[in-house]
Amino acid sequence: MENSLLIKNCRILDKGKLKNTSIFISNGKIKSIGNIGKVIKANKAIDAKNNIVIPGLIDLHVHFRQPGHEYKEDFYTGSRAAAKGGVTSIFDMPNTNPATTSVKALEQKRELARRYCIVNYSFHFGATKDNSKEIVKADTKGVKIYMGSSTGNLLVDKTKDLKNVFLAAKKSGKICLLHAENEECLQKNISEYKAKGLDSPEMHSAVRENKCAAIAVKDALKLKKEIGNKIYFCHTSTKEEISSIRNAKKKAKGIYCEVTPHHLFLDTRAYRKYGNFVKVNPPLRYIEDQKALWKGVNDRTVDAIATDHAPHQPDEKEKNYWDAPSGIPGVETILALLLDAVNSGELSLKQVIELTSENPAKIFGIKNKAKIKKGYDADLVIVDMEMKDSIGQIESKSKWSPFHDKVLKGWPIVTIINGNIVYYQGQLYNNKGKELEFN
């Protein structure tokens, strides 16, 4: 039996301009687009009331914490937060417990996502100093490398080990996703600050200073030039990184760059208000770094905006600086923050679509996603660009956001995944997400 849905009286972005249209969806696919509202009968219909339909967001960087840390988040709660925020597909990171560093652990995580995730999903494999053979065998498109220590125990900080991972990734056609902070630089600073007996969230940006990121990016670019593999810099946060990546992209292909909403919309001043709640790796940076990130967004040095959704419970964040974990939840606030930025003139709706869906699909070769086009999967979000609101109930298990009191203009109001209405009129509905397929 056909499962069909008609979105009538909507607008879509076509060749840079908004046009009025309707979208007919059948069995999870877009079947037709055009002036069809009075002609086609569907099982269900949504009157979009002249609001805009965009492709569902593909978040290339989330930590849904399952297995091992389900008290922080799991595939069900994390995917509900994603659907509410207009994110229809996610890539989960490997620093779970056990870490996703073996094919066996990957298959266990795959089964958990299949059972509980209500959005579409995929995974990044984890690199260690000695799991190159597992990297080659693993059925993923990306391998995550922690050049500097962060949450979890994954670390590849020696050049010879990094080279082996790059070679294994190249052999198996994977993209290396880099947490680019130099471990030696980090440990030197940590030792110095601990010796001084200091304990303040505001020093996090000094402990993990710009220099640590700058060194790691240059090292990775140098090795990429030697090996010839593809690399993707996660959560780029400093002016030095953006400059190095911009210059490298002029000379070579296969270099990609991601930024996060918290680095775009928060800076070091946020420590005064939120303390450890905005402790994150890499840390919040200074205003000049934030300006460099925005310049990178607008000159296309930046390829993707992803959340690095990394939830923790409030009581963990309330510990002293050295014991409080790093990470900020963000999967349900990314789109609202970006739509507000569109309304304030910081970027265009076209850029939002490119950075959150089109480019992620191109970089990782995701099949049938990120376009409002006949034959493509019906992963769609209806957004109300005039709606003003602050963040209400948080679906993530963390139950907090550093943006909770910020009034934003522009919100996702309907989320459709594989042709199914999953978020509508403030309500979430259960859905079976599908594992992403690749070209």
Catalytic amino acids?
A: 308
Asked if residue 285 lies in contact with residue 213, where contact means CB atoms within 8 angstroms, the answer is: no
> In sequence order, what E strands does 79-213 have?
87-92, 120-126, 142-146, 175-179
Q: Helices 103-116 and 75-84 sit at what angle, rounded to 10 degrees?
A: 60
Ranges of H-type helices in 196-259: 204-207, 210-227, 239-251
Asked if residue 120 lies in contact with residue 90, where contact means CB atoms within 8 angstroms, the answer is: yes
Among the listed residues 303, 309, 306, 307, the one whose alpha carbon sits nearest the alpha carbon of residue 354: 303
**Looking at residue 438, what DSSP letter applies?**
B
Strand order in the sheet with 57-62: 57-62, 87-92, 120-126, 142-146, 175-179, 230-233, 255-259, 304-305
Asked if residue 322 lies in contact with residue 199, where contact means CB atoms within 8 angstroms, the answer is: yes
81 alpha carbon, distance to own chain's centre: 13
d(CA 244, CA 365): 26
> What would the two tokens of residue 321 be?
């600086």
Q: Which residues, listed in sequence order, are joined to residue 420 by a DSSP beta bridge?
A: 417
Tokens 């080990």 locate to: 161
12 vs 16, 35, 373, CA distance in Å?
10, 13, 11
Q: What are phi and psi of 84, to 5 degrees?
A: -60, -35
d(CA 312, CA 81): 14
